[in-house]
């Protein structure tokens, strides 16, 4: 079992623990199939070869009056109704090879050009009408940021969509070993107010020499990052700051790693993490947890509708603003022929109390 890398002097490490007083249980789920598909920018109608279902949901966020999800191998934004799970597809710009759908071959073959979008957040300063999505950076071909902007637009109409190559930004993240350890893998992004963007690093890379995999959070200046996105050649990206490493513990003997997060009230963060066997790829379970305003963390194992441990891999997590104890999450089945699913879960216990 891999262990977290020891931090350099000055980097804080938080050890999370299981909290028996917390429960999280699935109460509903639906497959994510497209009920409608927008045309691509400049086209009059959606091409017939567009997928009919969400292939690989990888992040979820509140956007305007719906949820938005991104996918790691398909350049489509899914807009999901929170009540009916109706899915509207919005094509994103194609990858460098001209395709919007890619296979699962790792770094070579048809999977080489996939953007690997694994994190997204909506800007609270834009009334959640502006979305930013991040490529994982787990490989040099996955250094991308996508923005989708409905500001000054009809919400039922076409947004502005940009695909931005960001090697300077991902390279700067990779240079911070306290944040990325033996391998960069950005899995979550949340806004902490209107000026600060927090990234979540998943520590699932193989060890490299003295470097071990690391789960961590780190903060970016949102104004500085916006300036970089507007001029990625002439403007340097901001440095990541306030890095905190997390030892999330293990679930059924398998190490937990971050998969997404959601900002709650008063500096509290809801997070998801999954336990994936490094040797077999088997998902033994997932957890939902809380990081309080002081950075301390605790979690509860996610249970299915039958009360048994949920064995899916949570990929994206969000909630409606008026529902403190009800959350939504998506999973990726790792099968392009099967639709990803959206789940709803109830939280019981003192989730929102300071530790």
* CATH number, domain containing residue 108: 2.115.10
Cα gap 261→120, rounded to integer Å: 10
* pLDDT tens string 158-205: 999 999 999 999 999 999 999 999 999 999 999 999 999 999 999 999
Structural domains of the chain, count: 1
Q: 109-145 burial, b for 16+ CB within 10 Å, e for fewer?
A: eebbbbbbbbbbbbbeeeebbbbbbbbbbbbebbbbb
Q: Is 45 left (phi over 0), alpha (psi -120 to 50) or beta?
A: beta
The verdict on residue 101 lying in a domain is yes
Kindly indicate the confidence band of residue 43, based on its pLDDT and cuts at 50, 70 and 90: confident
Is the per-residue pLDDT at 36 higher than 50? yes
Cβ atoms of residues 181 and 214 within 8 Å: yes
Whole-number pLDDT of residue 219: 97
The verdict on residue 332 lying in a domain is yes
* pLDDT tens string 51-64: 999 999 999 999 99
pTM (predicted TM-score): 0.94
The verdict on residue 7 lying in a domain is no
Is the per-residue pLDDT at 19 higher than 50? yes
* pLDDT tens string 100-134: 999 765 544 556 789 999 999 999 999 999 999 99
Cα gap 185→163, rounded to integer Å: 19
Residue 191: domain span: 12-348
Closest of 93, 124, 99 to residue 191, by C-alpha: 124
The verdict on residue 266 lying in a domain is yes
The verdict on residue 2 lying in a domain is no
Q: Which residues pair with 241 in a beta bridge?
A: 219
Is the per-residue pLDDT at 10 higher than 70? yes
Is the per-residue pLDDT at 5 higher than 70? no
Closest of 199, 203, 137, 132 to residue 167, by C-alpha: 137
Cα gap 219→202, rounded to integer Å: 15
Whole-number pLDDT of residue 108: 45
The verdict on residue 117 lying in a domain is yes
The verdict on residue 212 lying in a domain is yes
Cβ atoms of residues 314 and 259 within 8 Å: yes
The verdict on residue 200 lying in a domain is yes
Cα gap 316→331, rounded to integer Å: 7
The whole-chain average pLDDT of the chain stands at 92
């Amino acid at each position: 079992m891999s262990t977290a890398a020891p931090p350099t002097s000055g980097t804080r490490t938080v050890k999370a623990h299981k909290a028996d007083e917390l429960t999280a249980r699935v109460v509903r789920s639906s497959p994510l199939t497209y009920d409608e598909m927008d045309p691509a920018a400049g086209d009059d109608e959606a091409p017939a070869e567009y997928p009919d279902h969400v292939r690989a949901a990888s992040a979820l966020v509140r956007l305007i009056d719906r949820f938005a999800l991104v996918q790691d191998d398909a350049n489509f934004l899914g807009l999901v109704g929170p009540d009916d799970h109706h899915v509207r597809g919005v094509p994103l710009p194609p990858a460098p090879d001209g395709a919007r759908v890619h296979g699962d071959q790792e770094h070579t073959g048809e999977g080489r050009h996939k953007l690997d979008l694994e994190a997204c957040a909506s800007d609270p300063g834009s009334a959640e009408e502006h979305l930013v999505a991040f490529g994982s950076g787990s490989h040099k071909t996955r250094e991308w940021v996508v923005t989708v902007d409905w500001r000054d637009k009809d919400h039922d109409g076409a947004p502005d969509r940009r695909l931005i190559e960001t090697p300077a930004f991902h390279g700067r993240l990779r240079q911070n070993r306290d944040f990325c350890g033996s391998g960069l893998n950005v899995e979550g992004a949340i806004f902490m107010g209107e000026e600060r963007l927090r990234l979540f690093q998943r520590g699932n890379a193989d060890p490299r020499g003295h470097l071990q995999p690391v789960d961590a959070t780190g903060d970016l200046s949102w104004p500085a990052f916006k300036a970089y996105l507007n001029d990625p050649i002439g403007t340097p990206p901001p440095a990541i700051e306030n890095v905190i490493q997390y030892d999330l513990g293990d679930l059924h003997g398998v190490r937990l790693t971050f998969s997404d997060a959601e900002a709650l009230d008063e500096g509290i963060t809801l997070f998801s993490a999954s336990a994936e066997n490094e040797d077999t790829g088997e998902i033994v379970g997932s957890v939902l947890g809380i990081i309080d305003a002081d950075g301390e963390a605790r979690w509860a194992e996610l249970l299915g509708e039958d009360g048994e441990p949920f064995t899916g891999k949570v990929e994206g997590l969000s909630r409606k603003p008026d529902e403190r104890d009800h959350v939504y999450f998506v999973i990726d089945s790792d099968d392009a022929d099967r639709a990803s699913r959206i789940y709803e879960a109830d939280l019981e216990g003192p989730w929102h109390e300071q530790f």
